[in-house]
């Protein structure tokens, strides 16, 4: 087959089609794999966000129920109304270990407005008299109703409820607060979803010295300087890949976003993030979600390879079939005409082109045969003329 022949050109064109077709399929596969990974990441983020909300609501209900029982206790109510710290501590301290085992880490009584200072901290009884001046404090004073939500204190982030406490005459004597550190939520999330989590808090809302003090209290390394804009409050894995983030936490979309898919050793993960808002609606932090998609990814790659093999095989068979058809219906017949024409010029007047086809090449074959007959006649006449001379 000569390089300049139509057959060679067609073959080159078909091979190019094969390469392009395969390339398109590969690109399409990569696109769908990326989209599937993204969908898995989105699912992990939205699922975790929903679960987080459910856990949060459940803990708020629990703290509300405990507070209901507590303010119904006349001994506690009267000791608080009388501002008898020792008696209040004596009555409530035995309950604290039990509540703590249920996750309630913060328990405070606040005096009423306008002073509104901490009267008693069950989780740190030696410290009292300070003014917290947080959004939820202001809200409970304004509404005199239960206020619940997340709030970032100087040392950490907790889901809290704060509610008014009334004396026997129905006057507000102060406020009762329960709180649960959000850090413990991520371990509950991990146990339910299998994903890994990392809770980030925006430094803008935290006091550096307080963070250092609380780190010392909790026997946690002071990680303030590890990242520029945020601190890692807690995480379910020691792997640093979980907390790679260079954006602004405040710009994380409400429904969360998928950050990336990455490989670590032989595993494939997808990383997503969703915002954590406080009771005032500020984005004070974010939750990283890392989902191990190794098994799904392996399945996707397997499907991808099968599809690729099937595509290449079917395209190759198609090309082979097309070449066979072209060869049979065009190239061989053209070659036969070329050979007959050459032989005719060389003196072989007997090589006929027989055809019953009426396609384009068939028309050429008919035409050639007519030319051949004319040529033979002319040659015979010339020979006769030469003989007669």
- Positions touching other proteins (CB under 8 A) are 339, 341-348, 351, 379
At how many degrees (to 10) do helices 74-81 and 85-92 cross? 160
For residue 331, the minimal CB distance to other proteins (Å) is 19
Contact 286, 274 (CB under 8 A): yes
Kindly report each contact of residues 297-304 with a partner whose C-beta sits within 8 Å and lies 24 or more positions away, as own/partner. Answer: 297/33, 297/37, 297/268, 300/32, 300/33, 300/36, 301/33, 304/29, 304/33
Reading the block at residue 67, the tokens are: 């507070």
Strands annotated E in the chain: 106-111, 118-121, 147-152, 157-166, 172-181, 196-202, 230-235, 257-264, 267-277, 283-292
Least separation in angstroms between CB 351 and other proteins: 8
Q: Which is nearer to other proteins, 317 or 379 (CB)?
A: 379
Closer residue to other proteins (CB): 101 or 386: 386
CB of 382 to other proteins, least distance (A): 8
Question: Please, which residue, 53 or 342, has the CB nearer to other proteins?
Answer: 342
Nearer to other proteins, 339 or 363 (CB): 339
- Least CB distance to other proteins at residue 350 (A): 9
Q: How far is the CB of 388 from other proteins (least distance, A)?
A: 16
The least CB distance from residue 329 to other proteins, in Å, is 25
CB of 344 to other proteins, least distance (A): 7
- Angstrom distance (rounded) from CA 176 to CA 178: 7
Give the three-class secondary structure for 364: helix
Give the Cα separation of 86 and 102 in Å (integer): 25
Q: Cβ closer to other proteins: 188 or 364?
A: 364
Of the two residues 126 and 345, which places its CB atom closer to other proteins in the complex? Answer: 345
**The token pair that represents 5 in the structure block:** 């022949």
CA distance 10 to 326: 9
Taking the least distance from each CB to other proteins, the nearer of 217 and 373 is 373
């Amino acid at each position: 087959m000569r390089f300049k022949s139509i057959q060679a050109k067609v073959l080159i064109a078909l091979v190019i089609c094969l390469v392009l077709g395969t390339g398109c399929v590969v690109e399409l596969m990569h696109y769908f794999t990326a989209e599937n990974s993204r969908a898995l990441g989105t699912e992990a983020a939205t699922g975790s966000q929903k679960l987080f909300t459910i856990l949060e609501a459940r803990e708020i209900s629990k703290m509300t129920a405990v507070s209901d029982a507590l303010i119904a206790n006349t001994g506690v109510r009267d000791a608080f109304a009388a501002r008898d710290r020792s008696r209040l501590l004596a009555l409530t301290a035995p309950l604290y270990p039990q509540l703590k085992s249920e996750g309630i880490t913060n328990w405070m009584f606040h005096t009423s407005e306008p002073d509104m200072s901490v009267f008693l901290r069950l989780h740190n009884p030696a410290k009292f008299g300070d003014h917290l001046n947080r959004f939820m404090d202001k809200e409970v004073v304004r509404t005199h109703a239960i206020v619940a939500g997340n709030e970032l204190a100087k040392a950490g982030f907790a889901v809290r409820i704060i509610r008014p406490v009334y004396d026997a005459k129905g006057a507000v004597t102060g406020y009762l607060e329960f709180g649960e550190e959000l850090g413990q939520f991520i371990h509950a999330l991990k146990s339910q979803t299998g994903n890994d989590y990392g809770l980030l808090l925006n430094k803008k809302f935290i006091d550096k010295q307080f963070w250092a003090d609380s780190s010392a209290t909790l026997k946690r390394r002071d990680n303030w300087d590890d990242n520029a804009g945020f601190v890692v409050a807690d995480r379910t894995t020691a792997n640093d890949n979980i907390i790679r983030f260079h954006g602004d936490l405040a710009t994380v979309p409400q429904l969360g976003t998928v950050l990336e898919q990455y490989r670590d050793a032989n595993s494939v993960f997808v990383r997503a993030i969703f915002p954590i808002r406080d009771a005032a609606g500020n984005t004070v932090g974010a939750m990283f979600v890392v989902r191990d998609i190794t098994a799904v990814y392996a399945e996707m790659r397997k499907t991808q390879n099968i599809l690729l093999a099937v595509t290449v095989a079917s395209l190759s068979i198609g090309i082979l079939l097309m070449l066979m058809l072209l060869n049979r219906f065009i190239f061989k017949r053209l070659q036969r005409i070329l050979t007959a024409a050459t032989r005719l010029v060389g003196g072989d007047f007997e090589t006929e082109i027989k055809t019953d086809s009426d396609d384009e090449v068939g028309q050429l074959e008919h035409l050639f045969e007519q030319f051949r007959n004319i040529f033979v006649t002319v040659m015979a006449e010339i020979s006769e003329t030469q003989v007669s001379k």
